Chains A and B, each alone.
Chain A
Amino acid sequence: MVIGALFGFIAGNITQSPYLGFLVGMLAGGAASMIHAFISITLRGNQIVSGLALTIFGLGITNFFGQDWINKKFTIPVNPVPVPGLSNIPFIGPILFNQDFFVYFSYVLVLLMWFILFKTKTGIHLRAVGENARAADAMGVGVNATRYFWTFFGGLLAGAGGAYLTLVYAPFWLDGITAGRGWIAVALVIFAMWNPLYAIIGAFIFGGIDSLQFQLQAAGTTIPSSLLNMQPYLLTLLVVIAATIIVRTRHIGTPGELGVPYAREEK
């Protein structure tokens, strides 16, 4: 995410186009994810270690290449485009349908991902490879190819998240600007029990809490800001605890072989 944030920001500034910047941010995220893919799929390393290492690497490399960009702004505004009709719905209209292009893109993406995951052969392959790679392999599904492809895809999306942060949301570059939001995304996936439709609901809840703290601070509350800043992370913890309990008792959620490497001739 942080890699997408920096390289998206740089590309956006150079090309003076938020869209090209966004695209480059995605590709940078995708490229970084290939390191993770190589370690955990080909070398069958431990995903948690690889993931943690990649996070540290991401912070380090962006610190290095971001030196000259610190506190620079991305000056081209990405304006909200109200959706005719829908944006006039009281209360939720302005929230959901008076947004910029990228937010609409995320709506489409959620529906598209849900469709792919649950209605197409590709989606069945993706889920099978994560649940029981041996079974998928025996059915002629290319386990490693599938895992590489979707890891790359995940990298694209993480990069997109980062680029949005520096090109639209902030929009400036600061060292470590993502501030652990990537981890919240991890919690979100657990919260959503690996279903994109739930994920967007969760995203609104997390996002809501995140912005609530700004609103409260702006309103001049007496609660110390450090406590307020803590909210999204506290929520993350609570969500993970709750979701873990729910997942335990039901047969849904966590893919059976989450983080498990696969080798065909191993017993």
Chain B
Amino acid sequence: MPDIVVALKNITKRFPGVTANNAINFELHGGEIHTLLGENGAGKTTLMNILDGIYRPDGGEIYIDGKRADIHNPADAMAKGIGMIHQHFMLVDTLTVLENVVLGLKSQKLYVNKKAVAGKIRTISDRYSLGIDPYTRIWQLSVGEQQRVEIIKTLFKGARILILDEPTAVLTPQEVRTSFDIYRQMIHEGKSIIFISHKLNEVMEISDRITVLRHGEVIGTVKRAETSKGELANMMVGREILFRLKRKPLKRKKKILRAENVRALDDKGLPALNGVTFDVYGGEIFGLAGVSGNGQKILSQVITGLRKVTSGNIFIEDINVTNASAKKITGQGTNYVPPDRLKVGLVPNLSTMDNAILRRYNRPPISNNYFINYREAAEYTEALIKKYDIKVPRKEAPVKLLSGGNMQKLILAREISENPKLLVVVHPTRGLDVGATELIRKELLKERDNGVAVLLISEDLDEIFMISDRIGVIYEGQILGIVNIEDAEIKRIGLLMAGLKDKSTA
């Protein structure tokens, strides 16, 4: 019987509108690497923030070494030997490595003996081959190095249980190799690790056991030796499709979007799209499935003109719009429902009306080239609100006060009203309640029936199956396969999402 160093029992955490964790049970054995696997938004970070004392759970208990633990803040967690390395590093850029280590050290006296601390940092750095100099300022370090500073911070304080929240998401493949060696070395030195990831290759390589979360619930815990990528993919995305929305038979029209061997870089300058080729036709919904971070966001940006491609071509109805401005692309009939409602989709502090007219404030009848006709603007907004049943406190109130569902309806209404040829929608229902979700999906189907080409990018496989006519799977910046909905099996899609082209490897 292995010793159980951490046990979470029935942990529940609610945020306004979502239950991020619903009665979660989880156990970490001494000396193991236990992976938390799950899609974005599954509740992994929330659960670990609870263990680390950043959030207070609404229910449930935490046991450390078999004893009930009350963790009110990260300092409590640290006192129990728990150290968390966050997805977004908790480092102060302008301070040195040493100063970041000292930050919050209970043992440290008022005057900081820099020599002694630096010596200890060097010892840790050498033991795990981290190669970190205590006097460097954080902003001078690469992301990989910063992560190692985080590791030093926790080890310095004597952590024996390390939580690593998606540590590999920001690393290059080489850095991932090195960090896996570091993790193994830590296990060797008697530490236990909770590793968070949604990359199946890595999970299968580094874990001893794997717990899969979905929609805030534990789907199951499996031993690495007794599972496969296929099984994990299925657990992660869900086996059962609840229902399929009723829809008219597919009436495919002419080709609207063509992406030809498109390549592009992400914000860090690393390749994110590695030759993407596909078409979307008028009158169909093309669902692009994939585990998050495989290039979906970048793809939506290059199609809508928000990011440059490094090579390849994009056509809208035979017109080459590669690297054209967003304005020109919109002019060609592309409209966009971005993944981030409040950052990209809306201007949070402007009113509902201002947001509603964002696409047409500069042309008649709302504008006469010099002034905005507010009567027209108000009428137009009124019409949108009525037609799409958007609940708005007051038209003049900042749009950020709307609920998520109503914001999304507003964005969709605004974009659809431009009569697009191509509608690019990304995560259209993420975080929405059932009612709003259904309404948005129905609107998308309506657009399809009207002959619009709809590109639906979603991590919610249920959603993709529910409304798509064809499904493409993107993996590491390439489309691994495209299937018609009639031939699509969830299992096969799951495998493709895991990067496995061949059925027999399951």
Contact = CB atoms under 8 A, between A and B. Distances in A.
Interface of A: 119-122, 124-125, 127-128, 131-132, 134-141, 251-252, 255-256, 264-265
Contacts of B92: 127-128, 131-132, 135-136, 256
A146 to B, nearest CB: 11
B112 A128 contact: no
A120 B102 CA distance: 10
A131 B95 contact: yes
B90 interface: yes
Contacts of A265: 55
Contacts of A127: 92, 94-95, 99
A251 B106 contact: no
A141 B105 CA distance: 9
A121 B91 contact: no
Interface in B68-96: 73-75, 78, 84, 86, 88-95
A120 B111 CA distance: 5
B75 A140 contact: yes
Contacts of B95: 124, 127-128, 131
30 contacts: A119-B111, A119-B112, A121-B108, A121-B109, A122-B110, A124-B95, A124-B99, A124-B102, A124-B112, A125-B104, A127-B99, A131-B92, A131-B93, A131-B95, A132-B91, A132-B93, A134-B88, A135-B90, A135-B100, A137-B54, A138-B90, A139-B103, A140-B74, A140-B75, A140-B104, A141-B103, A251-B139, A252-B94, A256-B94, A264-B54
A127 B54 CA distance: 21
Question: Which DSSP category, helix, strand, loop or mixed, fits chain B's interface?
Answer: loop
Nearest to A122: B110
A118 to B, nearest CB: 9
A228 B109 CA distance: 50
B12 to A, nearest CB: 15
B266 to A, nearest CB: 22
Contacts of B91: 132, 135
A264 B52 CA distance: 13
B137 interface: yes
Interface footprint category on B: 20 to 34
A121 B110 contact: yes
Interface of B: 52, 54-55, 73-75, 78, 84, 86, 88-95, 99-100, 102-106, 108-112, 137, 139, 153
**Which 8 residue pairs across A and B have the least CB separation, nearest first?**
A139-B104, A140-B75, A135-B90, A140-B104, A138-B90, A131-B92, A139-B103, A132-B92
Nearest to A267: B15
Given A256-B93, A256-B94, A120 B74 contact: no
A255 B78 CA distance: 27
A256 B61 CA distance: 37
Nearest to B84: A138
A125 B100 CA distance: 9
A255 B95 CA distance: 11
Contacts of B90: 132, 134-135, 138-139
Nearest to A251: B139
Given A121-B112, A264-B54, A138 B74 contact: yes
Contacts of B88: 134
Contact of B104 (A132, A141, A264): A141
Contacts of A119: 111-112
Contacts of A136: 92, 103-104
A135 B139 CA distance: 14
A256 B139 CA distance: 12
Given A124-B95, A124-B102, 11 more contacts: A120-B112, A128-B100, A131-B93, A131-B94, A132-B91, A138-B90, A139-B90, A140-B104, A140-B106, A252-B94, A256-B93
A140 B105 CA distance: 8
A121 B88 CA distance: 24
Nearest to A139: B104
A122 to B, nearest CB: 6
Contacts of B110: 120-122
Nearest to A123: B112
A135 to B, nearest CB: 4
Interface centre among B91, B103, B106 (most CB of A within 10 A): B103
Given A119-B111, A120-B111, A139 B93 contact: no
Contacts of A128: 92, 95, 99-100, 103
A136 B89 CA distance: 11
A263 B14 CA distance: 17
A214 B75 CA distance: 56
Contacts of A122: 110
Contacts of A141: 103-104
Contact of B94 (A137, A140, A251): A251
A140 B78 contact: yes
A249 to B, nearest CB: 13
A132 to B, nearest CB: 5
B169 to A, nearest CB: 17
A218 to B, nearest CB: 45
Contacts of B112: 119-121, 124
A124 B98 CA distance: 10
A256 B93 CA distance: 9
A217 to B, nearest CB: 43
Contacts of A120: 110-112
A138 B54 contact: yes
Nearest to B111: A120
A138 B105 CA distance: 12
A130 to B, nearest CB: 9
Nearest to B75: A140
A121 B105 CA distance: 9
Given A127-B95, A131-B94, A138-B74, A251 B137 contact: yes
Nearest to A252: B94
Contacts of B52: 138
Contacts of B89: 135
Contacts of B139: 251
Nearest to B114: A119
A141 B74 CA distance: 9
A128 B90 CA distance: 10
A251 B93 contact: yes
A140 B95 CA distance: 17
